[in-house]
């Protein structure tokens, strides 16, 4: 059950969009195409808890070996192995089948992990792998629902990532129905502008709360992810190929190119 208390995501600009952060005890879905930064957003959320709020975190990954996760985190300024050494982060590399089963079971792996670490936050990267458990869309929805609920049993605040099949294009809130099961949905998109690929973010929904509905550019740097100013042409940006008007509006707002490695 989510509370009214806000939890910082650790991402400059995103907390403001969310009205101060996500609700404690809520589930946030980060959805985007490969390479948009889904894992990075999740790692920021975990690192913020561990480094700033004395809230240990669990990182469950079905797709990356821990050493790859540690390397990727380092590239955005997060020292996961240090946090792990200090007992503030626990990296768990497992299969979706095993984790799903264990998350349901009282006294299972998830219970043991929470007990061992005192975790308040959890990242599951990515929930798309639950598709390996079943191909039936109705069963998948039930499994997703049970899975998400099991994350909340311990009053954890959760981030889950999901692969978007399309690189750019129409937004589908209904994909596998997971969006309906979570409290907050954040969409990450590639936008092609002036022959270069930029990144855009939209808070698609936030349950029981007002949120900023603008589409904003975000940048990934060696110091982390930072959310910038709104794009002006919402329709054009979501299509992935903004119109002339959108392009002009965009260039007005983002006339200066973000410096890489900033």
The contact set with ligand ATP (CB under 6 A) reads 32, 34-40, 72, 75-76, 220-222
Q: How far is the CB of 38 from Mg ion (least distance, A)?
A: 5
36, interface contact from ligand ATP, Mg ion, none, CB < 5-8 Å by kind? ligand ATP
Residue 220, contacted partner among Mg ion, ligand ATP, none, CB below 5-8 A by kind: ligand ATP
> Quick one: 39 or 184, whose CB is closer to Mg ion?
39
For residues 188 and 41, is the Cβ–Cβ distance under 8 A?
yes
What is the CA angle 141-143-147, rounded to 5? 115
Q: Is 39 in the site for Mg ion (CB under 5 A)?
A: yes
Grouping H, G, I as helix, E, B as strand and the rest as coil, residue 97 is helix
Instruction: Supply the minimum distance, in Å, between the C-beta of residue 64 and Mg ion.
Output: 7
Give the nearer residue to ligand ATP in terms of CB position, either 45 or 100.
45
Interface size with Mg ion, residues (CB under 5 A)? 2
Rounded to the nearest whole angstrom, what is the least distance from the CB of residue 125 to Mg ion in the complex? 6
Strand partners, 241: none
Task: Find which of ligand ATP, Mg ion, none residue 35 binds, CB within 5 to 8 Å per kind.
Answer: ligand ATP
C-beta of 24 vs 199, nearer to ligand ATP: 199
* 222: number of Cβ within 10 Å: 11
CB of 36 to Mg ion, least distance (A): 9
Token reading at 67:
């050493």
Calpha distance 53→33 (Å, rounded)? 30
Whether 260 and 219 have beta carbons less than 8 Å apart is answered as: no
Nearer to ligand ATP, 139 or 197 (CB): 197
Nearer to ligand ATP among residue 20 and residue 222 (C-beta) = 222
CB-wise, 5 or 223, nearer to ligand ATP? Answer: 223
Q: Are 153 and 3 in contact (CB under 8 A)?
A: no
81-100: burial string, b at 16+ Cβ within 10 Å, e else: bebbeeebbbbbbeebeebb
Minimum CB–partner distance for residue 246 and ligand ATP (Å)? 23
Tokens 């329709």: give the residue: 235
Residue 14 DSSP code: H
Q: Which residues bind Mg ion (CB under 5 A)?
A: 38-39
């Amino acid at each position: 059950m989510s509370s009214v208390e806000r939890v910082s995501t650790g991402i400059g600009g995103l907390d403001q969009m969310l009205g101060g952060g996500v609700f404690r005890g809520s589930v946030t879905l980060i959805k985007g195409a490969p390479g948009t930064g889904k894992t990075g957003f999740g790692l920021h959320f975990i690192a913020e808890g561990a480094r700033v709020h004395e809230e240990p975190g669990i990182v469950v990954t079905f797709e990356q070996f821990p050493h790859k996760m540690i390397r990727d985190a380092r590239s955005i300024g997060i020292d996961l192995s240090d946090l792990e050494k200090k007992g503030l982060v626990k990296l768990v590399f497992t299969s979706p089948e095993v984790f799903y089963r264990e998350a349901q079971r009282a006294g299972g792996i998830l219970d043991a992990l929470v007990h061992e670490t005192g975790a308040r936050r959890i990242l599951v990267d990515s929930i798309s792998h639950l598709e390996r458990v079943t191909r039936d869309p109705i069963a998948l929805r039930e499994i997703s629902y049970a899975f998400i609920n099991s994350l909340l049993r311990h009053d954890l605040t959760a981030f889950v990532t999901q692969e978007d099949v399309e690189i750019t294009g129409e937004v589908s809130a209904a994909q596998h129905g997971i969006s309906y099961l979570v409290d907050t949905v954040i969409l990450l998109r590639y936008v092609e502008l002036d022959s270069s690929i930029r990144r855009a973010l939209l808070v698609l929904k936030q349950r029981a709360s007002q949120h900023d509905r603008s589409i904003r550019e975000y940048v990934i740097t060696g110091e982390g992810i930072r959310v910038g100013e709104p794009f002006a042409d919402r329709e054009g940006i979501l299509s992935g190929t903004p119109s002339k008007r959108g392009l002009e509006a965009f260039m007005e707002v983002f006339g200066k190119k973000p410096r890489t490695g900033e």
